[in-house]
A and B are shown apart, each in its own frame.
Chain A
């Protein structure tokens, strides 16, 4: 067991966990933040994507102990009294059906928008599709997710 402390959605958290605890287990089982999902558990599907020190990572392929001292944002940390612009965009563009992949999609989406913005690059439709390489949706066929991310990007720029 190792004592792990980190900041999750702006709040300091601490727990004793076995060293083989995955970050996603820590988030879901210790913190009871169940918005972050486990889909494939083989780091293919991206349902478990969270931001670790501001970067999108797969929390099923990260150890909780390795995130000691880190700043973590989960889907629960995006809304601030009202929905995050990207969440609104997913709702308005029907960017989800069953919703299982959606937390990972939105965390990936906000990460890509931030990166493209920081690098001064245009987030084209082709770029969005390329950036979604690590996120799988079995319902939508992706078209509305891509539309939602483009809309969310412009909503984020104007908010």
Chain B
């Protein structure tokens, strides 16, 4: 790992000013993606601003069906939260299957969505739930937030503070994990929200996480795995790599969507 300067921020405003003062700063939370990336010399930030200890970025609350998760909340905390299990078990179960137990003890929801790895799980959940991402500067809808592969609508030095969404009537995630990395080869989050059925796909699209309009239309008014059977999922726009070609991923998307709907 190249040299870097570490800073521990105690508030969101301090994190923003530390990032502003840094030459090429990066926010550090659990570090479960960033530190391995730095070790591999694929990133070399001049400064690291640790946000993991900031109180307003930690914890989960459920008030009047609105779920709010602090950006620095770990996967293990999300997985084990009783109020969230009740309000939206689909998100807690998703978190329980990210990586491995040691990774879940440090990795955070904010870090995952800021990185927007196309094979990460949380982006699909937030997109399907129509979540809102609150930063130090503004609120961004999930539809606007996830821009492309490893790309988000975040500006330089912008800090995600929390994620919130309305508890859905139904929500479930099904993924086919790469057996080695546990990242999704294809993962589908299906949710029945007040805005209707919403379906988001992780791991498979060649431009990152996306919503599947045909599946949403099929599920509106007919929430069943059978409704998915009639939807055609083509290989166009699917990732193709050593782990699976586009046609294989297209098939997986349909199978995972069926499992997600059947699971809730």
A97 on interface, CB distance cutoff 8 Å: no
Cα distance A131–B99 in the bound complex, in angstroms? 10
Of the candidates B8, B52, B80, B105, the one having the most CB atoms from chain A within 10 angstroms of its own CB is B105
A66 & B31 in contact (Cβ 8 Å cutoff): yes
Identify the stretch in A5-13, A40-48, A74-82 within 8 Å (CB) of chain B at 4 or more residues.
A40-48
A65 & B6 in contact (Cβ 8 Å cutoff): yes
Pairs across A and B, CB under 8 Å, 28 listed: A2-B6, A18-B3, A19-B48, A20-B1, A20-B2, A20-B4, A22-B35, A43-B32, A43-B103, A44-B181, A46-B102, A49-B102, A52-B105, A56-B101, A57-B102, A57-B105, A61-B32, A61-B35, A61-B106, A62-B35, A62-B106, A65-B6, A66-B31, A66-B50, A66-B52, A133-B100, A134-B99, A134-B102
Interface string of B1-38 (1 = CB under 8 A from A): 11111101000000000000000000010011001101
Interface string of B200-221 (1 = CB under 8 A from A): 0000000000000000000000
- Tally A residues with Cβ within 8 Å of B: 31
When distances are taken between beta carbons in the complex, the residues of chain A under 8 Å from B103 are 43, 58, 61, 134
Query: Please, which residue of chain B has its CB at the minimum distance from the CB of A58?
Result: B102
B interface list, Cβ under 8 A from A: 1-6, 8, 28, 31-32, 35-36, 38-40, 48, 50, 52, 76, 80, 99-103, 105-106, 180-182
Cα distance A46–B182 in the bound complex, in angstroms? 15
A55 contact from B52, B76, B99, Cβ within 8 A: B76
B contact face: mostly helix, strand, loop, or mixed: mixed
CB distance from A123 to the nearest CB of B (A): 13
Of the candidates B40, B102, B181, the one having the most CB atoms from chain A within 10 angstroms of its own CB is B102
A108 on interface, CB distance cutoff 8 Å: yes
Cα distance A108–B105 in the bound complex, in angstroms? 12
Of the candidates B5, B32, B50, B106, the one having the most CB atoms from chain A within 10 angstroms of its own CB is B106
A interface list, Cβ under 8 A from B: 2, 18-20, 22, 41-44, 46, 49, 52, 55-58, 61-63, 65-66, 68, 108, 111-112, 115, 119, 131, 133-135
Query: Please, which residue of chain B has its CB at the minimum distance from the CB of A42?
Result: B36
When distances are taken between beta carbons in the complex, the residues of chain B under 8 Å from A19 are 3-6, 48
